[in-house]
Structure 1
Amino acid sequence: MESTQEHLLADEAVVNLEMASSGKRFANYLIDIASFYAFIFALSLIIVIFNPTFFDVFENASAGVDLLDRLVTLLLYGLYMGTVEAVFKGRTLGKLLTGTRAVNEDGSTISMGTAFKRGIIRAIPFNAFSALGNPCYPWQDKWSDTYVVDVKKSILPANE
Protein backbone atom coordinates (compact mmCIF):
# COMPACT_ATOMS: atom_id res chain seq x y z
CA MET A 1 0.00 0.00 0.00
CA GLU A 2 2.88 2.33 0.78
CA SER A 3 4.28 2.13 -2.76
CA THR A 4 0.90 3.08 -4.28
CA GLN A 5 0.71 6.14 -2.03
CA GLU A 6 4.26 7.21 -2.95
CA HIS A 7 3.45 6.74 -6.63
CA LEU A 8 0.35 8.95 -6.37
CA LEU A 9 2.29 11.67 -4.57
CA ALA A 10 5.05 11.57 -7.18
CA ASP A 11 2.50 12.29 -9.93
CA GLU A 12 1.17 15.43 -8.27
CA ALA A 13 2.42 18.61 -9.84
CA VAL A 14 4.52 20.65 -7.46
CA VAL A 15 4.28 24.36 -8.17
CA ASN A 16 6.42 26.93 -6.39
CA LEU A 17 6.28 30.55 -7.53
CA GLU A 18 9.18 32.81 -6.64
CA MET A 19 8.21 36.45 -7.20
CA ALA A 20 10.63 38.50 -9.30
CA SER A 21 12.64 41.00 -7.31
CA SER A 22 11.91 44.73 -7.42
CA GLY A 23 15.21 45.22 -9.22
CA LYS A 24 14.27 42.79 -11.98
CA ARG A 25 10.82 44.39 -12.26
CA PHE A 26 12.43 47.82 -12.65
CA ALA A 27 14.84 46.44 -15.28
CA ASN A 28 11.83 44.93 -17.11
CA TYR A 29 10.15 48.33 -17.11
CA LEU A 30 13.21 50.16 -18.47
CA ILE A 31 13.85 47.59 -21.20
CA ASP A 32 10.17 47.38 -22.16
CA ILE A 33 9.70 51.16 -22.32
CA ALA A 34 12.82 51.42 -24.51
CA SER A 35 11.49 48.67 -26.81
CA PHE A 36 8.12 50.46 -26.97
CA TYR A 37 9.74 53.74 -28.04
CA ALA A 38 11.86 51.88 -30.60
CA PHE A 39 8.65 50.35 -31.97
CA ILE A 40 6.93 53.77 -32.08
CA PHE A 41 9.97 55.28 -33.84
CA ALA A 42 9.95 52.52 -36.47
CA LEU A 43 6.18 52.85 -36.93
CA SER A 44 6.49 56.64 -37.30
CA LEU A 45 9.25 56.21 -39.86
CA ILE A 46 7.05 53.89 -41.92
CA ILE A 47 4.12 56.34 -41.70
CA VAL A 48 6.32 59.25 -42.82
CA ILE A 49 7.64 57.25 -45.77
CA PHE A 50 4.11 56.66 -47.04
CA ASN A 51 2.57 59.97 -45.92
CA PRO A 52 5.19 62.73 -45.38
CA THR A 53 2.64 65.29 -44.14
CA PHE A 54 0.99 63.03 -41.53
CA PHE A 55 2.70 64.60 -38.50
CA ASP A 56 2.32 68.24 -39.61
CA VAL A 57 -0.80 68.49 -37.44
CA PHE A 58 1.35 68.20 -34.30
CA GLU A 59 3.85 70.99 -35.12
CA ASN A 60 2.10 73.93 -33.49
CA ALA A 61 0.03 71.83 -31.14
CA SER A 62 -2.13 73.40 -28.48
CA ALA A 63 -2.30 72.06 -24.93
CA GLY A 64 -5.34 69.96 -25.86
CA VAL A 65 -3.51 68.24 -28.70
CA ASP A 66 -0.52 67.65 -26.43
CA LEU A 67 -2.74 66.03 -23.80
CA LEU A 68 -4.44 63.92 -26.46
CA ASP A 69 -0.99 62.85 -27.71
CA ARG A 70 -0.02 61.72 -24.21
CA LEU A 71 -3.26 59.77 -23.74
CA VAL A 72 -2.90 58.08 -27.13
CA THR A 73 0.69 57.17 -26.25
CA LEU A 74 -0.45 55.60 -22.97
CA LEU A 75 -3.11 53.60 -24.82
CA LEU A 76 -0.61 52.47 -27.47
CA TYR A 77 1.80 51.43 -24.72
CA GLY A 78 -0.92 49.33 -23.11
CA LEU A 79 -1.85 47.71 -26.42
CA TYR A 80 1.81 47.10 -27.29
CA MET A 81 2.54 45.44 -23.93
CA GLY A 82 -0.66 43.38 -24.08
CA THR A 83 0.14 42.19 -27.58
CA VAL A 84 3.73 41.27 -26.75
CA GLU A 85 2.72 39.38 -23.59
CA ALA A 86 -0.09 37.61 -25.48
CA VAL A 87 2.15 36.51 -28.35
CA PHE A 88 5.07 35.45 -26.16
CA LYS A 89 2.97 33.83 -23.37
CA GLY A 90 3.71 36.23 -20.54
CA ARG A 91 7.14 37.34 -21.70
CA THR A 92 8.33 40.67 -23.00
CA LEU A 93 11.83 41.67 -24.11
CA GLY A 94 12.54 42.86 -20.57
CA LYS A 95 11.22 39.68 -19.01
CA LEU A 96 13.17 37.54 -21.47
CA LEU A 97 16.43 39.34 -20.63
CA THR A 98 15.86 39.21 -16.84
CA GLY A 99 14.57 35.63 -16.75
CA THR A 100 11.08 36.51 -15.56
CA ARG A 101 7.58 35.75 -16.78
CA ALA A 102 3.99 36.78 -16.06
CA VAL A 103 1.86 33.83 -14.94
CA ASN A 104 -1.57 33.24 -13.42
CA GLU A 105 -1.79 32.82 -9.65
CA ASP A 106 -1.62 29.03 -10.08
CA GLY A 107 1.56 29.28 -12.19
CA SER A 108 -0.15 28.54 -15.51
CA THR A 109 0.47 30.53 -18.68
CA ILE A 110 -1.60 33.68 -19.00
CA SER A 111 -4.28 33.77 -21.67
CA MET A 112 -4.50 36.33 -24.46
CA GLY A 113 -7.34 38.06 -22.60
CA THR A 114 -5.29 38.29 -19.40
CA ALA A 115 -2.29 39.64 -21.33
CA PHE A 116 -4.43 42.39 -22.86
CA LYS A 117 -6.00 43.14 -19.48
CA ARG A 118 -2.50 43.57 -18.01
CA GLY A 119 -1.55 45.80 -20.93
CA ILE A 120 -4.59 48.07 -20.67
CA ILE A 121 -4.09 48.44 -16.91
CA ARG A 122 -0.58 49.71 -17.69
CA ALA A 123 -2.20 52.55 -19.65
CA ILE A 124 -3.77 53.94 -16.47
CA PRO A 125 -1.96 57.15 -15.50
CA PHE A 126 0.36 56.74 -12.50
CA ASN A 127 0.29 52.93 -12.76
CA ALA A 128 4.09 52.89 -12.59
CA PHE A 129 3.88 54.29 -9.04
CA SER A 130 1.82 51.27 -7.98
CA ALA A 131 4.97 49.17 -8.43
CA LEU A 132 6.77 51.01 -5.66
CA GLY A 133 6.97 48.99 -2.52
CA ASN A 134 8.39 45.77 -1.31
CA PRO A 135 7.31 43.29 -2.49
CA CYS A 136 6.61 44.81 -5.88
CA TYR A 137 2.95 44.09 -6.71
CA PRO A 138 1.66 46.69 -9.21
CA TRP A 139 -1.93 47.14 -10.38
CA GLN A 140 -1.46 45.07 -13.56
CA ASP A 141 -0.67 42.09 -11.32
CA LYS A 142 -3.30 42.73 -8.62
CA TRP A 143 -6.19 43.47 -10.94
CA SER A 144 -5.49 40.60 -13.34
CA ASP A 145 -4.69 37.97 -10.67
CA THR A 146 -1.20 37.38 -12.01
CA TYR A 147 2.38 37.39 -10.75
CA VAL A 148 5.71 38.06 -12.39
CA VAL A 149 7.98 35.24 -11.32
CA ASP A 150 11.66 34.44 -11.58
CA VAL A 151 11.65 31.51 -14.01
CA LYS A 152 14.88 29.91 -12.72
CA LYS A 153 13.80 30.03 -9.06
CA SER A 154 10.19 28.93 -9.66
CA ILE A 155 8.72 25.51 -10.27
CA LEU A 156 5.99 26.00 -12.86
CA PRO A 157 3.35 23.44 -13.93
CA ALA A 158 4.76 20.71 -16.18
CA ASN A 159 2.58 21.62 -19.18
CA GLU A 160 3.99 25.14 -19.28
Structure 2
Amino acid sequence: METTTLEAAYETQPVLVRAGQGRRLVNLLVDYVAIFSMFFVLGIIMALANQTELLDKLVDGFMGQVTFIVFSLAYYTVMEGLFGRTFGKMLTRTRVVTDEGLHPSFGTILKRSIWRFIPFDALSFLGNAYGWHDSRSETMVVRG
Protein backbone atom coordinates (compact mmCIF):
# COMPACT_ATOMS: atom_id res chain seq x y z
CA MET A 1 0.00 0.00 0.00
CA GLU A 2 1.41 3.36 -1.03
CA THR A 3 1.23 6.40 1.30
CA THR A 4 0.78 9.93 0.05
CA THR A 5 3.19 12.72 0.93
CA LEU A 6 0.60 14.23 3.26
CA GLU A 7 0.17 10.94 5.14
CA ALA A 8 3.95 10.50 5.41
CA ALA A 9 4.35 14.05 6.76
CA TYR A 10 1.59 13.47 9.27
CA GLU A 11 3.24 10.31 10.56
CA THR A 12 6.59 12.06 11.14
CA GLN A 13 5.22 15.00 13.16
CA PRO A 14 6.53 14.86 16.74
CA VAL A 15 3.98 14.42 19.48
CA LEU A 16 4.14 17.20 22.05
CA VAL A 17 3.60 16.01 25.61
CA ARG A 18 3.06 18.78 28.13
CA ALA A 19 5.26 18.76 31.21
CA GLY A 20 3.31 17.99 34.36
CA GLN A 21 3.12 19.98 37.58
CA GLY A 22 5.98 18.03 39.21
CA ARG A 23 8.44 18.92 36.46
CA ARG A 24 7.20 22.50 36.42
CA LEU A 25 7.81 22.78 40.18
CA VAL A 26 11.35 21.43 39.81
CA ASN A 27 11.91 23.95 37.00
CA LEU A 28 10.80 26.79 39.26
CA LEU A 29 12.99 25.70 42.19
CA VAL A 30 16.11 25.19 40.06
CA ASP A 31 15.56 28.49 38.27
CA TYR A 32 15.18 30.35 41.56
CA VAL A 33 18.48 28.84 42.73
CA ALA A 34 20.08 30.09 39.49
CA ILE A 35 18.63 33.58 39.94
CA PHE A 36 19.70 33.78 43.59
CA SER A 37 23.16 32.57 42.53
CA MET A 38 23.36 35.56 40.18
CA PHE A 39 22.48 37.76 43.18
CA PHE A 40 25.25 36.10 45.18
CA VAL A 41 27.83 36.67 42.43
CA LEU A 42 26.69 40.29 42.13
CA GLY A 43 27.18 40.67 45.88
CA ILE A 44 30.69 39.29 45.71
CA ILE A 45 31.60 41.58 42.83
CA MET A 46 30.15 44.64 44.57
CA ALA A 47 31.86 43.76 47.85
CA LEU A 48 35.20 43.38 46.06
CA ALA A 49 34.60 46.76 44.41
CA ASN A 50 33.88 48.25 47.85
CA GLN A 51 30.29 49.12 46.86
CA THR A 52 28.63 47.84 50.03
CA GLU A 53 26.27 50.83 50.39
CA LEU A 54 24.90 50.31 46.89
CA LEU A 55 24.69 46.57 47.53
CA ASP A 56 22.66 47.18 50.69
CA LYS A 57 20.20 49.30 48.70
CA LEU A 58 19.88 46.68 45.96
CA VAL A 59 19.04 43.79 48.27
CA ASP A 60 16.82 45.45 50.89
CA GLY A 61 13.12 46.22 50.72
CA PHE A 62 11.54 47.59 47.59
CA MET A 63 14.79 47.86 45.63
CA GLY A 64 15.54 44.23 46.45
CA GLN A 65 12.21 43.20 44.94
CA VAL A 66 12.80 45.32 41.86
CA THR A 67 16.29 43.86 41.48
CA PHE A 68 14.89 40.33 41.77
CA ILE A 69 12.28 41.07 39.09
CA VAL A 70 14.91 42.56 36.74
CA PHE A 71 17.27 39.59 37.23
CA SER A 72 14.41 37.12 36.76
CA LEU A 73 13.11 38.87 33.66
CA ALA A 74 16.61 38.88 32.16
CA TYR A 75 17.24 35.24 33.11
CA TYR A 76 14.00 33.86 31.67
CA THR A 77 14.06 36.04 28.56
CA VAL A 78 17.67 35.28 27.66
CA MET A 79 17.61 31.56 28.49
CA GLU A 80 14.24 30.75 26.92
CA GLY A 81 14.79 33.18 24.04
CA LEU A 82 18.14 31.71 23.03
CA PHE A 83 17.80 28.08 24.05
CA GLY A 84 14.08 27.47 24.61
CA ARG A 85 15.00 26.30 28.12
CA THR A 86 16.24 27.47 31.45
CA PHE A 87 18.57 25.50 33.72
CA GLY A 88 15.52 23.97 35.39
CA LYS A 89 14.10 22.90 32.05
CA MET A 90 17.47 21.45 31.05
CA LEU A 91 17.46 19.34 34.21
CA THR A 92 13.90 18.07 33.67
CA ARG A 93 14.35 17.71 29.91
CA THR A 94 11.57 20.10 29.05
CA ARG A 95 11.40 23.12 26.75
CA VAL A 96 9.19 26.04 25.83
CA VAL A 97 7.37 25.98 22.51
CA THR A 98 4.52 27.92 20.96
CA ASP A 99 1.08 26.33 20.91
CA GLU A 100 1.99 25.21 17.37
CA GLY A 101 5.14 23.48 18.63
CA LEU A 102 7.64 26.00 17.25
CA HIS A 103 10.49 27.87 18.96
CA PRO A 104 8.98 31.09 20.34
CA SER A 105 10.21 34.51 19.24
CA PHE A 106 11.98 36.82 21.70
CA GLY A 107 8.83 38.95 21.81
CA THR A 108 6.74 35.96 22.82
CA ILE A 109 9.29 34.95 25.45
CA LEU A 110 9.39 38.51 26.82
CA LYS A 111 5.58 38.48 27.07
CA ARG A 112 5.75 35.09 28.82
CA SER A 113 8.40 36.38 31.23
CA ILE A 114 6.42 39.49 32.12
CA TRP A 115 3.30 37.43 32.85
CA ARG A 116 5.26 35.53 35.52
CA PHE A 117 5.21 38.64 37.71
CA ILE A 118 1.46 39.18 37.62
CA PRO A 119 0.20 38.51 41.15
CA PHE A 120 -1.40 35.10 41.54
CA ASP A 121 0.23 33.59 38.42
CA ALA A 122 1.45 30.75 40.64
CA LEU A 123 -2.14 30.10 41.74
CA SER A 124 -3.14 29.56 38.11
CA PHE A 125 -1.38 26.18 38.34
CA LEU A 126 -3.81 24.86 40.97
CA GLY A 127 -6.51 23.84 38.51
CA ASN A 128 -4.19 22.35 35.91
CA ALA A 129 -0.53 22.32 34.91
CA TYR A 130 -0.79 25.40 32.68
CA GLY A 131 -0.17 28.81 34.16
CA TRP A 132 -1.28 32.21 32.93
CA HIS A 133 2.19 32.92 31.61
CA ASP A 134 1.67 29.92 29.31
CA SER A 135 -1.85 30.68 28.14
CA ARG A 136 -1.41 34.47 27.79
CA SER A 137 1.74 34.08 25.69
CA GLU A 138 0.34 31.12 23.73
CA THR A 139 3.23 28.90 24.77
CA MET A 140 3.60 25.64 26.63
CA VAL A 141 6.28 23.61 28.35
CA VAL A 142 6.72 20.19 26.79
CA ARG A 143 8.92 17.18 27.36
CA GLY A 144 11.89 16.79 25.13
After TM superposition, the score normalised by the length of structure 1 is 0.77
Choose the corresponding residue for 1:6, options 4, 24, 28.
4
**Deviation at 1:39?**
1.3
Equivalenced residue count is 142
Secondary structure in 1 matching 2:97: strand
Q: Which residue of 2 aligns with 1:98?
A: 92
Indicate conservation of the 8 Å contact 2:57/2:63, yes or no.
Answer: no
Distance in 2, Cα, partners of 1:113 & 1:30 = 25
1:10-159 correspondence runs (5 A) = 10-12=8-10, 13-53=12-52, 54-57=54-57, 66-88=61-83, 90-134=84-128, 136-151=129-144
Q: Which moved more, 1:123-132 or 1:77-86?
A: 123-132
The amino acid of 2:126's aligned partner reads: L
**Deviation at 1:56?**
4.4
Residues 99 and 67 (structure 1), Cα distance of their counterparts in 2 relative to 1, 3 Å cut: same
Q: Which has the higher contact order (CA 8 A, sep 6+)?
A: 1
RMSD across aligned C-alpha pairs, in angstroms?
A: 2.2
**Deviation at 1:17?**
1.5
The amino acid of 1:26's aligned partner reads: L
CA deviation vs aligned residue, 1:9-59 (integer Å, no higher than 9, x gap): 213452422110110011111111111101111122222222433224469
**Deviation at 1:114?**
1.5
Indicate conservation of the 8 Å contact 1:74/1:124, yes or no.
Answer: no
- Structure 2: which 5+ runs fail to align? none
Identity of aligned residues (%): 36
Q: Which residue of 2 aligns with 1:157?
A: none
Q: Structure 1: which 4+ aligned runs deviate by more than 3 Å? A: 56-59
CA deviation vs aligned residue, 1:57-109 (integer Å, no higher than 9, x gap): 469x6xxxx13422332232122211111121x11111111011110011111
Residues 10 and 132 (structure 1), Cα distance of their counterparts in 2 relative to 1, 3 Å cut: same
Distance in 1, Cα, partners of 2:98 & 2:76 = 17
